[in-house]
Amino acid sequence: MESFKAHLDKFISINDEEFASVMSFFEVLTVKKKQNLMLEDEVCQFKYFVIQGCLRKFFINEKGIEQTTEFAIENWWISDTFAFEKQIKSTFNIQAVENSQILAIDYDAQEKLLEKHPLMEKYFRMVYQTAYAAAEKRIRYLYEMTKEEYYIHFSTLYPWFIQRIPQYLIASFLGFTPEYLSEIRAKLRS
Amino acid sequence: MESFKAHLDKFISINDEEFASVMSFFEVLTVKKKQNLMLEDEVCQFKYFVIQGCLRKFFINEKGIEQTTEFAIENWWISDTFAFEKQIKSTFNIQAVENSQILAIDYDAQEKLLEKHPLMEKYFRMVYQTAYAAAEKRIRYLYEMTKEEYYIHFSTLYPWFIQRIPQYLIASFLGFTPEYLSEIRAKLRS
Cβ–Cβ below 8 Å for A139 and B138: yes
Domain locations in chain B as residue ranges: 2-137, 145-190
CA distance B144 to chain A (A): 7
Cβ–Cβ below 8 Å for B135 and A137: no
- Say how far apart CA A136 and CA A114 lie, in whole Å: 26
Can you spell out the DSSP letters for B84-108?
A: HHHT-B-S-EEEESSSEEEEEEEHH
- Say how far apart CA B28 and CA A58 lie, in whole Å: 42
CA distance A74 to chain B (A): 20
Cβ–Cβ below 8 Å for B59 and A144: yes
The nearest alpha carbon in chain A to B62 belongs to: A144
- Say how far apart CA A170 and CA A165 lie, in whole Å: 6
Cβ–Cβ below 8 Å for A132 and B136: no
- Say how far apart CA A112 and CA A96 lie, in whole Å: 27
Task: Please tell me if residue B114 touches chain A, with a CB cutoff of 8 Å.
Answer: yes
CB-hemisphere CA count at 13 Å for B2? 0
Contact A122, A11 (CB under 8 A): yes
In three-state secondary structure terms, B114 is helix
Task: Please tell me if residue B69 touches chain A, with a CB cutoff of 8 Å.
Answer: yes
Q: What is the ipTM of this complex?
A: 0.93
Q: What string of pLDDT tens digits covers the 190 residues of chain A? A: 789 999 999 999 999 999 999 999 999 999 999 999 999 999 999 999 999 999 999 999 888 989 999 999 999 999 999 999 999 999 999 999 999 999 999 999 999 999 999 999 999 999 999 999 999 998 898 888 888 888 888 888 888 888 899 989 998 888 888 888 888 888 888 8
In three-state secondary structure terms, A37 is strand
* Phi, psi of A30, rounded to the nearest 5 degrees: -110, 125
Helix (H) or strand (E) holding A11: none
Q: Which CATH architecture has domain B2-137?
A: Sandwich (2.60)
Task: Please tell me if residue B118 touches chain A, with a CB cutoff of 8 Å.
Answer: yes
Cβ–Cβ below 8 Å for B136 and A140: no
pLDDT one-digit tens code per residue, A152-188 = 888 888 888 888 999 899 988 888 888 888 888 888 8
Predicted structure pTM score: 0.93
CA distance A29 to chain B (A): 24
